Chains A and B, each alone.
Chain A
Amino acid sequence: MSSPLSAVLGAFTAGARSRAELARNTGLRPDVVDAAIEHLVRMGRLEAKELAGGCPTGGCGSCASGVDDAPGCGASARSSARTGPVLVELRLKR
């Protein structure tokens, strides 16, 4: 039996840095990789955060520097828009 989720997690740990790389390294179809990432995020194994080099175009609510949905710079404005690249941070469950 194949283990797509474990394969995707393994590829993360091995240093894959994009969905295309994940698909190449695991041999899985891109749509299966997408579904696997989404499911791992839902399971709490992966955390998706937006990465940006300054103030995001989507407003403070989509700030990469934010913590607990609060903007990183301390501003109070919020926005639910998400337009930048998404950083998926691996969080290995103990």
Chain B
Amino acid sequence: MAPLIECTGITKSYGGPASRLALDNLSFQVESGEFAAITGPSGSGKSTLLHVLAGLDRPTSGSMVVDGHELSHQSEADLARFRRSRIGFVFQFFHLLNNLSVLDNVLIAAQLAGAGEATSRAHAHELLSELGIADKAREYPAKLSGGERQRVAIARALVNRPAVLLADEPTGALDSHTGGQVMELLVGFNQRGQTVLLATHDMELARRYAGRRLSLRDGRLDDDSRSEPQPQGHTG
């Protein structure tokens, strides 16, 4: 069976006189159902890799196939269509739309993907219940705590049943307790078959929750290791 994600020689450089290499000839594969953590210090290229995988940014060179889609040469519109149907993205700072209610924040992703109203609404409510924020469905993001906002972001990322959930430092803006709760939720979804790619600078967190760790340093793949997750209580 073909891997869910297959990157070959991905390079990303930022132009200008002082050209900087953010990703340097990265090659790896991720199988469906994996929980992989991309780790590394600040500036190692974790977020850039996630952006490239989500089609939010383009690699300078290399080939990249996600869920059977070759992304390197697609148009902006095609990338957007791919993103809304196959990718769920959880940002460090949640990035909710403040002028939409919690429920609408979740539903909007389904609407963009052209999903049916009744199904989407039911699924959104289901996700909010699962994430423990069903009672907040009519609230606006400004009234929610950080942890609640990140749960909304996760619900939004999952509403279209994406092939892969990309989470960029999802606990970075949360206290350790709340961060732990969020990670438990991600693990829970992974155990039900959801492929998760987590970017984090926290090696401990990666070891605790992810079965595979891709370690980046200066844009290069420094290490690719696998081990059983070792949950030891909550941490951020």
Q: Do A and B bind each other?
A: no
Tell me the A residues contacting B by CB distance below 8 Å.
none
